[in-house]
Chain A
Amino acid sequence: METNYDAIVVGTGISGGWAAKELCEKGLKTLVLERGRMVKHVEDYPTMNDDPWDYKTGDVITQETLKTQKKQSRTGYTTTESSKHFFVDDIEHPYNETNRFDWMRGYHVGGRSLTWGRQSYRLTDFDFTANLKDGIAVDWPIRYKDLAPWYDYVEEYIGVSGENVGLSQFPDGNYLKPMELTCVEDHLKSDIKKNYKDRILTIGRTAIITEGSKPGLGRSTCQHRSRCRRGCPFGSYFSSNSSTLPAAEVTGNMTLRPNSLVHEIMYDADSKRATGVRVIDSETKEVHEFNAKVIFLCASTVPSTSILMQSKSDTFPNGMGNASDQLGRNIMDHHLGVGASAASDDFKDKYYTGRRNNGIYIPRFRNIGGETNQKDFTRGYGYQGGGGRSDWTKQIAEMAYGAAFKEASLKPGDWQIGLSGFGEILPYQDNKMTLDYNKLDKWGLPTVTFDATLKENELNMRKDMQQQAVEMLESAGFRDVKGHDRDYAIGLGIHEMGTARMGHDRKTSVLNENNQLHDVPNVYVTDGSAMTSAGNVNPSLTYMALTARAANHAVKELKKMNI
């Protein structure tokens, strides 16, 4: 068995797939290690064409599922019959909660690039300068201009649908044809334009092909079935399985090894370099060692951080690259579940065709200078949401039951519209993950303990998020406007990040401006753990851009023999 490679990539999700593609395309013989099972594009999407009636009691979460996926089911939707197989068995993969933490993931080739929400937005200099301006945590060691060409690069490759709106806090990009707003959404958009000077409503930016095709295993135009999370037979949304892994494969430089649980990076104190990784075969428990000149840690925030913590040595008694003691700290997410909803009596003779897997988007309008600055909270939030006509409780009330009721239930219901905020969580030292060596998993590895809570800034922001949503819906003349602030615990945004942050100084951060460990320059970490602040936008596009940029750097450094 070959054990020596030019590069090793740990993980095959959003970041890992990109690392594999970039490194392989640049000529590196690359070993790509995934702890979970193989999932082949299309072949391994068993539920991709199912209708609700293909399941005995519909596409729902069952009590049987809750026996093994109780924590994964906290989302209320990811573990229904059609997609539960892409989320972990909580019994096999336990974790500990000092405070409630919702850690949602699946372990398989493609990771969450198979099940992600596909919303794709760029960070801006409002985000990159925020910590510096607020005197919070540490400054990002990069700015928008460093990442902009890489956002261009990844957007072009994967295909993102959306529209340009020319706002500095919501940068323009290279978008495919935008999806269409429904009648009520369009009405809200017009009303916001008329009554608000500081904000706009646009269609969401989503990593879905809406015209033509993109490179990969046959990636073609979306058919609007809205069954993305199951894996798409048309390859319309971006996933590693349909896009970046095939690109890596076709170079002939990739060796993809599923069922390979990386638990430690090996370090040589003399050369001051990582030399490779230690692997446990997740099926057979056999152990292996693989060597490489450069390692890309893309196992997602928590596993990548765990691997670094587990990589102890005389040089690194506290975990590899952890001179700063920041490893595991500053865990962030986007807090959500707060907003408003309403109904409309208009547009009764209107409907829509196609099941749009995308919503509206209201970009950040708070704390971007001048009158937008708030005294109760710093940072910002955006809204997702949408309007359709699937609810018909009004018909129920009027018709009660019987033939007329049955007839009415075959018609579309009243229009409903909702706005749902995504808010930034600040980096707090004491919001953290640690390893518990007293509670080992079935591979003998320590389990993760989470201890993180929302604090004053987030709670104050949530009040504004609800209030603004209510006001916008009321202004547009909708009826029954109701605000909501639902049960949220950190992690439920499924954007956990920050536990191996980038920064200028090795005393206060784990990674430098190129995503290298300050102290081990041939280890790059490019997944969510790298994030110095959370921003308020969905982060996956940023992970792709950081990864492509870091891979470019790594190959140059290898050629210069710097690493």
Chain B
Amino acid sequence: MDRRKALKNIGNGIGAIAVTPAVVSLFQSCQTSATYNPLFIPKDDFKIISNLMEMIIPKTDIPGAVELKLPEFVDAYIDAVWDEEEKTDFTETWEVFISSSIKAAGKENENDLSAADWDAQLAKYLKPGNDLPADEILASKFVNQLRSLTVNAFKTNEFIGEEVLAYAPIPGEQKGCVDLMEATGGKAWSL
């Protein structure tokens, strides 16, 4: 997608979903994430992927992806669960996504992209109804897969599962059709 289109999309408010000051600061920070040594994701890429995950599930009054250590989970998950083909696909689509993003932002290097640049990319690939040119299909595949991985990590998180979602390790009763608000106050069951 050319730069003009990207700017146009931001102007339409399709972007700017997740560009909060907190997220901006994540991208501006020179610090690398803690002392985590990724099992699968290349160490150089881990920070950008973590930040993208934070944009997908940002900190609100509930912790976001980075605080919940969802990037560490996703890294371990891919390493333990996926086979060679799935891993290779992920790496390939990640690389297409990176080069696509650099081009869209009109920059030289992925580390030069701003939060707004990344946000425009997420918006382009995650919002429904966007027509994508053929050379961006793989980039879109990467982003959609990252979102699924992030959500899976979120829902498999102990804090979210026990403290945020409705948690009932021993429900006791089984009732088939009940009022949602009465059952869980509107929340989904975690188990």
Q: Which residues of B contact A409 (CB under 8 A)?
A: 57, 151, 154-155
Q: Which residues of B contact A400 (CB under 8 A)?
A: 17, 122-123, 126-128
In the complex, A1 has a CB within 8 A of chain B: no
Per-position 1/0 for B40-76, Cβ under 8 A of A: 0000000000000001111010101000000001001
Chain A residues within 8 Å of B, Cβ to Cβ: 49, 51-53, 56-58, 60-64, 66, 179-183, 185-186, 222-225, 347-356, 389-390, 392, 396-398, 400-407, 409-413
Known interface pairs A58-B77, A401-B18. Does A353 touch B174 (Cβ–Cβ under 8 Å)? yes
Query: Are B80 and A351 in touch, CB under 8 angstroms?
Result: no
Q: Can you report 29 residue pairs joining A to B where beta carbons are below 8 Å apart?
A: A52-B161, A57-B156, A62-B81, A179-B174, A180-B176, A183-B176, A186-B177, A223-B171, A225-B169, A347-B177, A349-B180, A350-B179, A351-B178, A352-B174, A353-B174, A354-B175, A355-B189, A392-B188, A401-B17, A401-B55, A401-B56, A402-B55, A403-B17, A403-B18, A403-B58, A403-B60, A406-B64, A409-B155, A412-B187
| B186 CB, min distance to chain A CBs, angstroms | 6
In the complex, B170 has a CB within 8 A of chain A: yes
Q: Which residues of A contact B56 (CB under 8 A)?
A: 401-402, 405
- Roughly how many angstroms separate A62 CA and B39 CA in the complex, as a whole number? 15
Query: Are B58 and A225 in touch, CB under 8 angstroms?
Result: no
In the complex, B83 has a CB within 8 A of chain A: yes
Q: Of the candidates B18, B174, B180, which one forms a contact with A356 in the assembled complex, judged by CB atoms under 8 Å apart?
A: B174
| B31 CB, min distance to chain A CBs, angstroms | 24
- Roughly how many angstroms separate A351 CA and B186 CA in the complex, as a whole number? 9
Q: Which residues of B contact A62 (CB under 8 A)?
A: 80-81
Query: Are B122 and A355 in touch, CB under 8 angstroms?
Result: no
Query: Are B177 and A396 in touch, CB under 8 angstroms?
Result: no
Known interface pairs A57-B76, A223-B171, A400-B123. Does A406 touch B176 (Cβ–Cβ under 8 Å)? no
Q: Which residues of A contact B158 (CB under 8 A)?
A: 51, 53
| B26 CB, min distance to chain A CBs, angstroms | 14
Query: Are A51 and B169 in touch, CB under 8 angstroms?
Result: yes
| A211 CB, min distance to chain B CBs, angstroms | 12
Q: Which residues of B contact A398 (CB under 8 A)?
A: 128
In the complex, B28 has a CB within 8 A of chain A: no
Residues of B91-124 at the interface with A, using a CB-CB cut-off of 8 Å, are 122-123
Query: Are A351 and B183 in touch, CB under 8 angstroms?
Result: yes
* Residue of A whose beta carbon sits closest to that of B150: A401
| B148 CB, min distance to chain A CBs, angstroms | 8
- Roughly how many angstroms separate A424 CA and B83 CA in the complex, as a whole number? 35
| A326 CB, min distance to chain B CBs, angstroms | 42
| B84 CB, min distance to chain A CBs, angstroms | 9
In the complex, B141 has a CB within 8 A of chain A: no
Q: Which residues of B contact A354 (CB under 8 A)?
A: 168, 171-175
Q: Which residues of A contact B180 (CB under 8 A)?
A: 348-351, 412
| A354 CB, min distance to chain B CBs, angstroms | 3
In the complex, B157 has a CB within 8 A of chain A: yes
- Roughly how many angstroms separate A187 CA and B128 CA in the complex, as a whole number? 31
In the complex, B132 has a CB within 8 A of chain A: no
* Residue of B whose beta carbon sits closest to that of A183: B177
Query: Are A353 and B147 in touch, CB under 8 angstroms?
Result: no
Query: Are A223 and B170 in touch, CB under 8 angstroms?
Result: yes
Q: Which residues of B contact A182 (CB under 8 A)?
A: 176-177
| B88 CB, min distance to chain A CBs, angstroms | 14
Q: Which residues of A contact B171 (CB under 8 A)?
A: 223-225, 353-355
Query: Are A224 and B179 in touch, CB under 8 angstroms?
Result: no
Query: Are A410 and B165 in touch, CB under 8 angstroms?
Result: yes
Most B-side CB within 10 Å, residue of A348, A353, A356: A353
- Roughly how many angstroms separate A60 CA and B79 CA in the complex, as a whole number? 13
Q: Which residues of A contact B80 (CB under 8 A)?
A: 56-57, 62-64
- Roughly how many angstroms separate A407 CA and B165 CA in the complex, as a whole number? 11
* Residue of A whose beta carbon sits closest to that of B188: A412
| A182 CB, min distance to chain B CBs, angstroms | 5
- Roughly how many angstroms separate A53 CA and B156 CA in the complex, as a whole number? 6
In the complex, B164 has a CB within 8 A of chain A: yes
Query: Are A225 and B17 in touch, CB under 8 angstroms?
Result: no
Most B-side CB within 10 Å, residue of A225, A401, A411: A401
Q: Which residues of A contact B73 (CB under 8 A)?
A: 57
In the complex, B137 has a CB within 8 A of chain A: no
Q: Of the candidates B122, B176, B178, which one forms a contact with A401 in the assembled complex, judged by CB atoms under 8 Å apart?
A: B122
| B9 CB, min distance to chain A CBs, angstroms | 12
Q: Of the candidates A66, A351, A396, A403, which one forms a contact with B179 in the assembled complex, judged by CB atoms under 8 Å apart?
A: A351
* Residue of B whose beta carbon sits closest to that of A389: B188
- Roughly how many angstroms separate A142 CA and B91 CA in the complex, as a whole number? 61
Query: Are B177 and A60 in touch, CB under 8 angstroms?
Result: no
- Roughly how many angstroms separate A180 CA and B149 CA in the complex, as a whole number? 33
* Residue of A whose beta carbon sits closest to that of B53: A401
Q: Of the candidates B55, B77, B170, B176, which one forms a contact with A225 in the assembled complex, judged by CB atoms under 8 Å apart?
A: B170
Q: Which residues of B contact A350 (CB under 8 A)?
A: 177-180
In the complex, B181 has a CB within 8 A of chain A: yes
In the complex, B25 has a CB within 8 A of chain A: no
- Roughly how many angstroms separate A482 CA and B60 CA in the complex, as a whole number? 37
